[in-house]
Structure 1
């Protein structure tokens, strides 16, 4: 699944997905996660992203430990949220796992949780204040992993002569990502050198962004590919049956959310004609990410266009349709490989 495009390595991650029926008391969830890890390694993914929320059944660090023990090649991609733990705790866990596995962690730094989660946690900071808090958090973590006696005086965090028992060599330092689409998020990205993890956007939007961006860019999106367009469209209708209650809830929570990208996706979905780039799963409340829907060749062509215009990493949502979506996505990437081979050498 990992690819090299114009001499540049492009990591391909997926998003951990487990069926609701596996979330029961008899530990079926852990067997389901083990199966997902095994499939991810078998199909050649670079790693797995685990999101973070109050409702999430797995602690991200527990999941990272599962991946490190079970899979030889996979990299855990862990969501880090300042509201859940002090930066010293996070830095220590990063050092432990990276030294034990001999692999760098991928970290997706996020500013907060959903609206109702934030209320439950007593997190009342404003949108921009959360990004300032994230900036301080990330700066402290990075310094702790590579320096002795860290002293830091910020608005949200103050530490004095703080050191980890273990530090990391440069090859094991984490790969940092920040999710966000606001000016506050982009300020943190530009001030830390982190890669931006964004929702996949239409090609014209990516072309416009590529003229001005000063950072590396990763896209998060789902794939629903089939041998032909008609079959893919049918699979989409089965995956996203009409459910007005689910759709209304998605619209309500998006309007009340402080998350800029969700509001932007909802607005786009109102006027966008469904095509390969498809917002039906998002607008219908079945997913929080855009989808690429179509024949293997059509989806591969869209990904190829993304790569030609500066995409550096992918995180794929694998829809829980009951079909073997690992296989279908594998077919998309086989066609992507064919597309790369067809490009003349002087144009690569």
Structure 2
């Protein structure tokens, strides 16, 4: 009898076929894992779970007595209650080292889109409003030679700095828990206080992981410190920003605009206030969403899962203490 695996919001048939050869795989998409009866029944026999954004908390673990590994198909793993998993001997894995360049492309892309008003002016053309030469009402702002402030100079933050420095001759300020000497040397990035980043940057790009310390890191005070001409970019997690404060900052013209790929609650509802502003670029959490990158992540997630179920140490084990 094959061991049971649950695939949750896991897209790639190429990788699912590999699993089906060895395991009894059940697929779940767009369900509520707290209430779906089929999922809850399958959870009782599941030895492994692979997928995206499944909340693995005490309640779920109580319902999964045979669970050995949860393979997250993402770099982040704030959906996993790692301490609780470790207590129960359940391994957790993620897929780092795959999406960094792809995400940096996307975040710098929405920065450009906001600065040059690309989505807004695309609609300007498509709606038939381009009938004469452009006036000041349609003008955008330059990106080159401006100052980019990066909050969270990890791998993706560094790659955004690389694009800004070499592609657009931008000055780089950054704030991070630890000095990033490579970014300072290669991209002439300047390590400074959060306040200086906010006060001096033309573009403020938030790239921190979500932790108790970074939740609502950017709020009313921080928006008031920014230039009125600044564009705020969030490529981290939605809960790192106080969305009510962001909405007020845009409404009151405390900042010039925003470019957002993440939100406190996803997906956004069509009536969400952020969707009412033409100077806010909104993308649906597209950071790693290219076919090539998502397939690489899926393959790595399956590799981690199979290793754990075979009694081996997965390459990307988050909680190695579980092996003890």
TM-score, L = length of structure 2: 0.31
Larger Rg over CA atoms: 2
* TM-score computed with the length of structure 1 as normaliser: 0.30
